[in-house]
Amino acid sequence: MVKNLIIWSIIFIALTSFFQNITFNYNKNHYQVNYSTFLSDVNKNKISQVIINENEIYVIKKDNSKYFTFLPINDPKLLTTLMNKHVQISGKKPEEVSLLFSIFISWFPTILLALMWIIFIKKMQLGSGKGAMSFGKSKARIFKKNEIKTTFIDVAGCDEAKDEVKELVEYLKEPKRFKKLGGKIPKGILMIGPPGTGKTLLAKAIAGEAKVPFFSISGSDFVEMFVGVGASRVRDMFENSRALSPCIIFIDEIDAVGRKRGTGLGGGHDEREQTLNQILVEMDGFDKNEGVILIAATNRPDVLDPALLRPGRFDRQVFVSLPDIQGRAQILSVHVKKILISKDFDPMIIARGTPGFSGADLSNLVNEAALFAARNNNTFVSMLDFEKAKDKIMMGSERKSMIISKKQKESTAYHEAGHVIVGRLVPNHDPVHKVTIIPRGQALGVTFFLPEEDCLSITKEKLDSQISVLYGGRLAEEIIYGKENISTGASNDIKIATNLARNMVTKWGFSKKLGPLLYIEEEEEIFLGKSVSRTPNFSNNTSKIIDKEIKSIIDNNYIRAKNILEKNIDILHSMKDALVKYETINCKQIEILMKRKKLTNKDFEKNK
Ligand code: ADP
Ligand code: ZN
């Protein structure tokens, strides 16, 4: 911007001095004399001709010499004097150029401002680097066919999605052969799935396998301040892609432009609608055999305009879901290829401990683990590094520096030990993985459970056990310190337990009195995250029963947990001691404590 200003001011200065020079030039070749000399020349009959231009008098003498002079005051007698001396008098036609110039000069600041404004806006939109004239040009990133190194091997853990898109590769390789055989290939594929599950990766892998160019653009790149820019970008992108066909166009976050039209959302966003219309027009316009395949990604298929999903458009849908245990292990295996890992690396163990992680999260996990190893100057990334990385991502960094009083440490240890012991002794509960009283994020201590497999549905028994375990922490505090001295540390446990119990009664039909009915209206997402819950349609009486049933589930589990802890109070004490001493104990060490044996330093050395 500063550079532009400088350039423009230089131009401005150059132009103004140029105009001044023109008027100067007019006079330069002739010398100036004073008015009285001129008058005496007139009287002496030396003048043959004068040209009068306002107060400036251009004089040609009879000997053909020339000069000019200025009228000091308006001299009304001058003309008569000149006529008497038979001097030829002429005026001067105002210069045409000067009119244009004056217009130009009066408009110059406005033009300058307008130019600067346009440049500024363009800068804003395009960022730096891009050409100045690419207003309506698509912002798609183009990967040439030899630039794409991604193949299906890099995409792990979503085999169904991979299978579904494999035929596209064959088609893109030889569109003509496919055409001859009358093969039908969709023009548009909609990849649906949560963020980070590898939709972009999969689309790119298709291009990589078929060795065709890959256009990548995000839906939000189309949406601009000015109406019509998005649409022209779409046009431009399709034109470019046709020239390079067969190829793949990948539109990430299509919901940014593809939301249902006319919902009144955002005041009927003209620009978005025009852009969406242009996409539809282009999609309908290109022939099936042109060899351009559109792949769009979204995690909100519900908000998309139905017109996008009509046959001939994005009529094929591929679901890319969060990976399951096997998938996570496979994804980890793909990503650890890039780092040096120790021999004890077992992707299954990490996969078990990372339910709900997406491919992107796992790739981040591997990276964090490598960073931990590097920080400790290790030559290999060990399981311990992975464990640390996992805890950091899930719970926030360890807050080792936080100063905790001895008493606080002890009560945290009792609390966590309470969770662990109940967890070990209720039926059908996930095994404890480890327990720590090192504060992380908001929590003072954490007990980690490690499910054997991803749980897709849970039994009532397991839910009851979970509620018991959740109260184990608070109960341990109560048993040791008395009812009056329970801390607020259990608020999150209570919240989770209450929600579980409420869902058991109102959603999952686990209450005998109420039966398998839905007593809760699902919250409906209207749009943009604003939700409204409708008033439940059951009587006051039912509402009382619901409350009673929730209370009874919680009471039963509370009493069960209390009994367990009271019977095993010796283990509670020894586990507290171990936690205060070692801060973190793992499942093997917990096993030893549960058998009422003593933990020794030896048990810790082995595991390091
Ligand atoms: P999305 O487009 O679904 O949001 P991306 O394709 O951008 O997700 O994934 C981001 C990164 O996460 C990828 O570059 C890759 O490193 C990793 N990733 C995601 N899913 C997978 C997968 N299934 N296999 C291997 N890596 C994956
Ligand atoms: Zn707790």
Domain residue extents for the chain: 24-91, 141-319, 325-394, 406-606
Q: Checking phi first, is residue 45 left (phi over 0); if not, alpha (psi -120 to 50) or beta?
A: left
Residues 216, 252: contact at Cβ < 8 Å?
A: yes
pLDDT given at position 334 = 92
CA 99 to chain centroid, in Å, comes to 56
Q: What angle do CA 231, 236, 242 make, to 5 degrees?
A: 130
CATH architecture of 24-91: 2-Layer Sandwich (3.30)
Q: Over 80: is that where the pLDDT of 365 sits? A: yes
Centroid of ligand 1 to alpha carbon of 201 (angstroms): 5
Q: How many residues does the chain have?
A: 608
> How confident is residue 128, by pLDDT bands cut at 50, 70 and 90?
very low
Residues 6+ apart with CB under 8 A from 285: 238
Centroid of ligand 1 to alpha carbon of 129 (angstroms): 28
Residue type, 416: E
Rounded Cα distance, 271 and 229, in Å = 8
191 lines ligand 1 (CB under 6 A): no
Q: Over 80: is that where the pLDDT of 608 sits? A: no
pLDDT given at position 418 = 95
Q: In this structure, which long-range contacts are made by residues 331-335, counting pairs with CB atoms below 8 Å and at least 24 apart in sequence?
A: 331/156, 331/157, 331/359, 331/362, 331/363, 332/362, 332/365, 332/366, 333/156, 334/153, 334/154, 334/156, 335/362, 335/363, 335/366
| Ligand of minimum distance to the alpha carbon of 419 | 2
- Quote the percentage of the chain above a pLDDT of 90: 22
510 or 127, greater pLDDT:
510
> How confident is residue 61, by pLDDT bands cut at 50, 70 and 90?
confident
pLDDT given at position 282 = 83
Residues 249, 215: contact at Cβ < 8 Å?
A: yes
CATH classification number, 325-394, choose in 1.10.8.60, 1.10.1760.20, 3.30.470.10, 3.40.50.300: 1.10.8.60
Task: Using alpha carbons, select from 216, 299, 305, 297 the residue that is nearest to residue 262.
Answer: 305
Scored b (16 or more CB within 10 A) or e, 164-191 reads bbeebbebbeebeebeeeeeebbbbbbb
What residue's CA is closest to ligand 1, atom 25? 155
Helices and strands of the chain, counted as H and E runs: 22, 16
| Ligand of minimum distance to the alpha carbon of 470 | 2
**Which ligand 1 atom sits closest to the C-alpha of 158?**
23
Segment 406-423, tens digit of pLDDT? 788 899 999 999 999 999
pLDDT given at position 2 = 63
Q: Over 50: is that where the pLDDT of 462 sits? A: yes
Q: What average pLDDT does the chain have?
A: 82
Tokens 């819950």 label which residue? 533
> How confident is residue 551, by pLDDT bands cut at 50, 70 and 90?
very high
The residues facing 247 across adjacent strands are 292
Active site amino acids: 416
Supply 160's token pair: 């169904």
Q: Over 50: is that where the pLDDT of 437 sits? A: yes
Which homologous superfamily is 406-606 in?
Peptidase M41 (1.20.58.760)
Q: Could you check whether the bond before residue 246 is cis, i.e. omega within 30 degrees of 0? A: yes
The residues facing 453 across adjacent strands are none
pLDDT given at position 521 = 61
Rounded Cα distance, 228 and 286, in Å = 21
Min mean pLDDT across 63-77, 102-116, 263-277, 525-539 is at 525-539
> How confident is residue 224, by pLDDT bands cut at 50, 70 and 90?
low
Q: Over 70: is that where the pLDDT of 401 sits? A: no
Residues 305, 259: contact at Cβ < 8 Å?
A: yes
Min mean pLDDT across 182-186, 525-529, 562-566 is at 525-529
pLDDT given at position 130 = 42
pLDDT given at position 568 = 94
- Write out the H or E segment, with its range, that includes residue 334: helix 325-336
164, 197, 339: which to mutate for ligand 1, most atoms within 8 A of CB?
Answer: 197
**Which ligand 1 atom sits closest to the C-alpha of 154?**
25
Rounded Cα distance, 608 and 344, in Å = 12
| Ligand of minimum distance to the alpha carbon of 445 | 2
For every residue of 393-408, which 3-state class applies, written as one string? Answer: HHHCCECCCCCCCHHH
Supply 282's token pair: 């282009």
Rg (CA), the chain: 41
Q: Report the CATH number of the 141-319 domain.
A: 3.40.50.300
195 lines ligand 1 (CB under 6 A): yes
Residues 45, 52: contact at Cβ < 8 Å?
A: no
The residues facing 423 across adjacent strands are none
Q: Over 50: is that where the pLDDT of 129 sits? A: no
pLDDT given at position 552 = 94
| Ligand of minimum distance to the alpha carbon of 332 | 1
327 lines ligand 1 (CB under 6 A): no
Can you point out the beta strands (E) in 92-185? Answer: 141-143
Q: Over 50: is that where the pLDDT of 132 sits? A: no
Segment 473-493, tens digit of pLDDT? 999 999 999 888 888 888 889
251 lines ligand 1 (CB under 6 A): no
Mean pLDDT of 173-188: 76
Supply 19's token pair: 């105009």
Centroid of ligand 2 to alpha carbon of 473 (angstroms): 5
- State the DSSP code for 79: H
Centroid of ligand 1 to alpha carbon of 272 (angstroms): 28
Centroid of ligand 1 to alpha carbon of 162 (angstroms): 13
Q: Measured in Å, how far apart are the chain's first and last C-alpha atoms?
A: 59
Q: What is the DSSP string of 306-347?
A: GGGGSTTSS-EEEE-PPP-HHHHHHHHHHHHTTS-B-TT--H
pLDDT given at position 580 = 87
Min mean pLDDT across 127-136, 156-165, 337-346, 419-428 is at 127-136
194 lines ligand 1 (CB under 6 A): no
Answering whether pTM is above 0.85, one says no
598 or 74, greater pLDDT:
598
Q: In whole angstroms, how far apart are CA 494 and each of 438, 466, 544, 591?
A: 21, 12, 21, 27
> How confident is residue 289, by pLDDT bands cut at 50, 70 and 90?
low
**Which ligand 1 atom sits closest to the C-alpha of 191?**
3
Q: In whole angstroms, how far apart are CA 567 and each of 9, 258, 276, 555, 572?
A: 89, 61, 67, 18, 10
Centroid of ligand 1 to alpha carbon of 41 (angstroms): 96
Tokens 């030896």 label which residue? 602
Mean pLDDT of 390-416: 80
Mean pLDDT of 504-531: 70
Q: Are strands 214-218 and 141-143 parallel, antiparallel or unpaired?
A: antiparallel
What residue's CA is closest to ligand 1, atom 1? 196
- Residue 246: how many CB atoms within 10 A of its CB? 22
